[in-house]
Structure 1
Amino acid sequence: MVSIEPMELNGHSFTAVTVRLPKTTLLTISNENGYIMCGALDVELLNTRLADRKIIAGRAVGVKTIDELLNAPLESVTLEAEKIGITKGMIGEEALLKMI
């Protein structure tokens, strides 16, 4: 099952996507500038092989719902995310608000 829901944080629009797969769930919250995602995100790949794309993203591990993703500390972030002030340990919602 795939669920795509609009959401608002402090008056700013984002899209939450949940993809239920066998034995796991993929979660992401994004806007036009960047995204946060569950542990399936490969930050190292984004920082190396896809560096030319300048992707702003963060990864939280151990989350099972969109609410958990919003409130979890980010385990890793891309180099581009760091450039706009997103840091490892920052909660998801705070990181998203820096992507505005």
Structure 2
Amino acid sequence: MVSLTTVIIDGYSFTAVTVHLPKTTLLTVSNENGYIMCGALDVGLLNRHLSDRKIIAGRAVGVKTIDQLLNAPLEMVTTEAESLGIHAGMIGKDALLKMV
């Protein structure tokens, strides 16, 4: 099952997607500039092989719901996210606000 919802943070709108898969759930929250995602996100791949795309993204691990993703510290972020002041340890919703 896939669910799509709107999340409002400090008046800014983001799209939250939950994909229920066997034995795991994929979670993302995004806007037109970037996204945060559960541990399935391969930040290393984005930095190494897709760096020319300048992807703004961060990963939180151990999260099972969108609310947990929004409130968890990011474990890793892309180089492009770092250029916006987003860093590992930053809470997901705070990182999203730097993407607006």
TM range (shorter): over 0.9
- Measured after TM superposition, the shift of residue 24 of structure 1 is 0.1
Query: 1:9 corresponds to which residue?
Result: 9
Q: Distance in 2 between matches of 1:20 and 1:66?
A: 12
Residue pairs, 1:3-82, within 5 angstroms: 3-82=3-82
Q: Distance in 1 between matches of 2:8 and 2:63?
A: 20
- Measured after TM superposition, the shift of residue 7 of structure 1 is 1.4
Gap regions ≥5 residues in structure 2:
none
Identity of aligned residues (%): 76
SS in 1 for 2:17: strand
- Deviations, residues 30-77 of structure 1 (Å, cap 9, x unaligned): 000000000000000000100000000000000000000000000000
Query: 1:96 corresponds to which residue?
Result: 96
Gap regions ≥5 residues in structure 1:
none
TM-score normalised by structure 1 residue count = 0.99
* Counterpart amino acid of residue 81 in structure 2: A
- Measured after TM superposition, the shift of residue 6 of structure 1 is 1.1
Paired residue total: 100
